[in-house]
Amino acid sequence: MSDETTLLVHFQPPSDEGPSDIVGAFTNEADVAPDAIGAIDIDDDTATVNVRPDVADRIVQALDGGRIGTSTVSIALLDAETESARAYATRLTDLVELEREEEMRRHEREIETLSGREREDRGRALLRMRGRDEGEGLGGHHVKLMREQKGQPLPDHEIRVGDLVMISKTDPLRDDNPTGTVTQVTNYSITASFDPKPDGWVFGKGLRPDRREEVVSGLRPDRREEVVSGLRVDLYVNDIPYQRMQDALAQLPTADGALKQLRDVSTGVASPAATEPAPIDDWHNSALNDAQRRAVRKAVATDDVHLIHGPPGTGKTTTATEVLQQCVDRGESVLATAASNTAVDNVVAFLAEQGTDVVRLGHPARVNDRLRTHTLDAQIEDTDTHRRSQQKREKAFAVLDRQEDLTAPSGRWRRGMSDRKIKERAEQGRGSRGVPPERIEEMAAWLALQERADALFDEAEALEQEAIDEVLGAADVVCSTNSTAGSDLLDGHTFDTLVIDEATQATAPSCWIPMTHARRAVLVGDHKQLPPTIQNQEAARRGLRRTLFERLAHHHETAPEAPGSIRSLLRRQYRMHETIMGFPNRTFYDGRLEADDTARHRTLAGLGVPEHALPADERRAILDPEAPLVFVDTSGIDAPEHQRSGSHSRENPREADLIAQLTTALVEAGVAPSAIAVISPYDDQVDRIDRALAPDGPETDTVDGFQGREKEIVLLSLVRSNDRGAIGFLDEPRRFNVAVTRAERKAVVVGDASTMAAADVLGAFVRYAETTGRAVPL
């Protein structure tokens, strides 16, 4: 065919249908002649099919939303917009797969190359464990995991509430090893919830004596003792978020309606709809400033997508919460998400304090304790429908218990007979090939009980879904992580408005998960701070680090104040002294920020720290209560950076010593350790400083780990000091922006000015400190 139209076919779930199945469906369901169908190209869950132009619409009308083989299909004409969306979704899907493989490799490489004992020494595995059945609970079937020797405490480990753990006996890389979510951690045990309930071996003690030799003979010598000594519990990777990202991306090429508009605006092939800011008379938070109110009016009025750009300390979550409440006031269904559980909990807490009826999706173990009553699991338990579901489930288990006294239709008793044949012979009172009639009758009775139990379980599941729909339907706002929005819980649910908080810390594929459930979206974040962490360097280089927020801001770039702008800027910050704010304001925010009067002159003196309480040496100049921003230049002393053997990180012993001295001086002058944070871009430097401080001393963290946090006083160690001017990932300007904007009253930056001069932003900061703040050379 010389003149052809291309159709895009998406299979859900992916299946093994081939070209002949597609041709058969087109000819039988759409009455299309085979010679009207041209080339067919199938790639996993997507196919492109060339057809004669006059039959294209007929095929779409007949089969879009229908079935080909075992899959439901969506079919669309592959026009320029669809082709652009397909290329966009394919590229992101490939990058997600690279990241997924990197994550799997990282865990599996360590499990494969290290013995269980070595993994345990690193805190990522626990050996010689036993399991105890704790019964059903929130999130699934609970198993308590303890040392085999009763009363023995667990060694130090990194397993935390909310982590995914894997239980194994002989091979920690078996695909069928049970994985569960940690719900509780004590000094003596870990409790995790599993769905479904793990097999019985999890609750035994070691291997059966008669099987030990058989199982252990083929194992490495260093693993033989582990196997016969109980269960192994490994900290493991969660594959579900990757699957959900890829499922969401697969919907984009054939999207229609609101999702198509969101897709086309995001990819730059369509412009956002022009709307006027919504009039709002009644505000839930009367303290909102003018910029925040403008942002809320524009967000509430948008027909497709709006960005709220919130620099540090400007009240992003406060503004996002007002958007959510205003949408509720308009009778809209509302979904609020974020990349992390902590960010979601912040939104839930804001809403709950305002009396909003909020439901928090996600595993209860990953939710802050004080917010547990807002979880879907907790609210479902309070419904009569759920209680009826549990009663059905208990009846089903009671029915199954009655099977214990009967012969199960398996093994030598079944003898190839189908369930139907067993029932027929039981009715006839006949046996079969060595199976006496009484065994046939028992198997038929067993099957009848199984059918009854299955029916009860089906009824219980239907009631459970009814309870879920009941709670979700009554909620003002549904909150979840981006990933959880892709769970079965929201299948079939479409929300009028979606608000994604901290959207600049989420990858674009992550954001598309909740966006497939929304008619319009409001993204809140700051693309001048650090983007999401990407482990696979190729994926990062090819664009996975670029967020959807940043892409939208680039495609539809206008001044935030311009009429019809897709972006609102929050201008007033409530965190930092104006001198601390000055440098990031000039460098990253085009001078648009202003300090609120409550923060403008906030200094260490406001904490009641007198200057005479500070040491009478250079530390007094550094810690001067009236100096909010100080740069300590180490270029005049011998303070080179170091790299530990086998480490990719860096440390600087002289800087670490100085930071420890400054911190001690602050505490001795009366500053509470909880008011101080010590941060550095490098893990090894954080570790070195942490070991130099008192156990009950100030918090220490990496710059990346401290993003989103703030403290009255922040001490920053830059570490890099060398003759080459090499600064590593300090060359990422957004990392320095995050670092310096964590402080409220005082920021002390320690670094080598001669090394920093090689970087534009760091060199500019040194000059700013010399002219506007304070520079103290050592």
pLDDT digits (tens, 9 = 90+) for 361-390: 987 777 888 888 999 989 998 899 999 999
Burial 553-562 (b: 16+ CB within 10 A, else e): bebbeeebee
Give the model confidence (pLDDT) of 618-670 as tens digits.
Answer: 889 999 999 999 999 999 999 999 999 888 899 999 999 999 999 999 999 99
Q: Taking the model in full, what pTM does it have?
A: 0.81
Q: Which residues pair with 525 in a beta bridge?
A: 309
Q: By mean pLDDT, which of 218-227, 518-527, 563-572 is the weakest?
A: 218-227
Q: Is the backbone peptide bond immediately before 13 cis, with ω within 30 degrees of 0? A: yes
Q: How far is CA 651 from CA 417, 632, 689, 736, 760, in A?
A: 71, 17, 9, 17, 23
Q: What is the 3-state secondary structure (H, E, C) of 25-52?
A: HHHHHCCCCHHHEEEEEEECCEEEEEEC
What is the sign of the dihedral through the CA atoms of 649, 547, 267 and 336?
A: positive
**Residue 611 DSSP symbol:** G
User: Which of 588, 77, 572 lies closest to 293, judged by CA?
Assistant: 572
User: Which of 380, 308, 320 lies closest to 346, judged by CA?
Assistant: 320
Q: Which residues pair with 161 in a beta bridge?
A: none
Give the model confidence (pLDDT) of 298-319 as tens digits.
Answer: 999 999 999 999 999 999 999 9
Q: Beta strands of 90-163 (E only): which ranges? A: 125-137, 140-147
Q: Which residues pair with 594 in a beta bridge?
A: 572
CA distance 532 to 486: 19
In the predicted structure, residue 160 carries a pLDDT above the cut 70: yes
In the predicted structure, residue 229 carries a pLDDT above the cut 80: no
Q: Beta strands of 186-220 (E only): which ranges? A: 189-194
User: Which of 749, 758, 738, 766 lies closest to 584, judged by CA?
Assistant: 738
In the predicted structure, residue 82 carries a pLDDT above the cut 50: yes
Give the model confidence (pLDDT) of 440-495 as tens digits.
Answer: 898 899 999 999 998 998 999 899 999 999 999 999 999 999 999 999 899 889 99
